[in-house]
Structure 1
Amino acid sequence: MSFSPLTSRLIEALTCLPGVGPKSAQRMALHLLDRDRNGGEKLAQTLQLAMDNIGRCQRCRNFSESEVCQTCTQTSRDASLLCVVETPADVIALDQSGGFRGYYFLLLGHLSPIDGIGPEEIGAPLLDQRLAEGEVKEMVIATGTTVEGEATAHYLSEMARRHGVVASRIAHGVPMGGDLEYVDSNTLSLALKGRKRLE
């Protein structure tokens, strides 16, 4: 069975979402057309509004509908602490943990010369400017543990040192409740390197 041209376009458009293959996109499209037209219209309107009105915060580069995002305007946060992360999802995860009360800066990726991603693409000039303001005393680097993430962390730590800012790296290792026998060797290696003395 073949679909009408517009139905096919809808199915194809839905495959742009992460984790949505052709079959899932087909199921979603048919559901919206057959059972939830109001939901489809609401989705279309909200998507259009979001694409037109959501930009980037000029201070941290997170999603925002204004020049400065809600997080950056919270005066209750510790201005001496800045956590550098790769994605908006990282900010949400760290904020929900309740363990960090400073501000954030989003790289929107990591250094990867092979892919043409250099300091400009990860917002290094803006971060450098922020560190130069003198308010930040410690920069917590929370990039991934991939080769690119580690290279990015090293680059950022050098930047922090130039400004007299303490650079720290989030700990990596064995998760709470994890059994050592099920943890991969790279994670165990990081856990051993990041070990601390018991008081």
Structure 2
Amino acid sequence: MKHSPLVQGLIDAFTCLPGVGPRSAQRMAYHLLERNREGGGHLAEALTSAMEGVRQCSRCRNFAERDLCPICLDSRRDQSQVCVVSSPADVLAIEHSGEYRGRYFVLLGQLSPIDGMGPRQIGLDQLEQQIQAGDISEIILATGTTVEGEATAHYILEMVHGTAVTVSRIAQGVPMGGDLEFVDGATLAHAFRGRRPV
């Protein structure tokens, strides 16, 4: 049995989401059409509003509804300290810690030539302009420990070389409350290399 064009269009639209295949998309479409048309309408309105109203902050590239995001507009934050992260989700995670009071630069990806993600695609030219303008005194690298994350961190380190900007990398290793017996060897090795005096 084939779906009607409108039903098939709805199913196809859901498959654009990460981790949603045709069967999951069909379940979602059927749920909205059978049991929650009001929720479907609300979802459509929210999607339209977000797609039209959310853009990138002109300074840090985080999600924003104006030219600058709320973090960049906050005068109580240290505007010269920049934490470089891969995605807006990373900003949210760091903000939940309550420990960081600087601003961010969101790459919206990581260097990955095989995926067509070069320095310009992740905004490193924009970050370099901010460094050259003298707006930044410290960069904190908070990219992941994947090959792409490490390559991105190394590229930024090379980009900053020869300037007065200090560069640090967030510590990585054993999680709080974790038992060593359950931590993998690579993570433990990284934790030992990153140890500091107490």
Which residue matches 2:15? 15
Paired position in structure 2 for 1:149: 149
- Between the aligned partners of 1:124 and 1:166, the Cα distance in structure 2 is 17
1:122 corresponds in structure 2 to 122
**Residue in structure 2 matched with residue 3 of structure 1 by the alignment:** 3
Q: Cα offset for 1:158?
A: 2.1
Aligned to 1:93: 93
The answer to which of 45-54 and 185-194 deviates more is 45-54
> TM-score, normalized by length of structure 1?
0.94
Q: Distance in 2 between matches of 1:19 and 1:104?
A: 28
SS at match of 2:79: strand
Runs (5+) with no aligned partner, structure 1: none
Q: Tell me, what secondary structure is at the counterpart of 1:72? A: helix
Moved segments of 4+, more than 3 Å:
none
User: What are the equivalent positions in structure 2 for 1:1-199 lying under 5 Å apart?
Assistant: 1-198=1-198
Structure 1: how far apart are the matches of 2:124 and 2:12? 36
C-alpha distance in 1, partners of 2:162/2:21? 46
AA aligned to 1:136 is: I
Shifted more, 129-138 versus 67-76: the winner is 129-138
User: Letter of the aligned partner of 2:46 in structure 1?
Assistant: T
Post-superposition shift, 1:40? 0.8
Q: Give the length in aligned residue pairs.
A: 198
Residue by residue over 1:40-67, the C-alpha shift from the partner in whole angstroms, topping out at 9 and shown as x without a partner, is: 1111122112112211111001111211
Cα-to-partner distance string for 1:144-177 (whole Å, 9 max, x where unaligned): 1011111111111122233210000001101011
Contact between 1:161 and 1:167, CA under 8 Å: does it hold in 2?
no
Once the two structures are superposed, residues 23-78 of structure 1 have per-residue CA deviations (whole angstroms, 9 ceiling, x without a partner) of: 22222111111111111111112211211221111100111121111111011101
Report the residue type matching 2:128 in the other structure. Answer: D
Equivalent-residue separation in structure 1 for 2:131 and 2:163 (angstroms): 6
Cα RMSD of the aligned pairs, angstroms, is: 1.4
Q: Secondary structure at the match of 2:70?
A: coil
Displacement of 1:3: 2.7
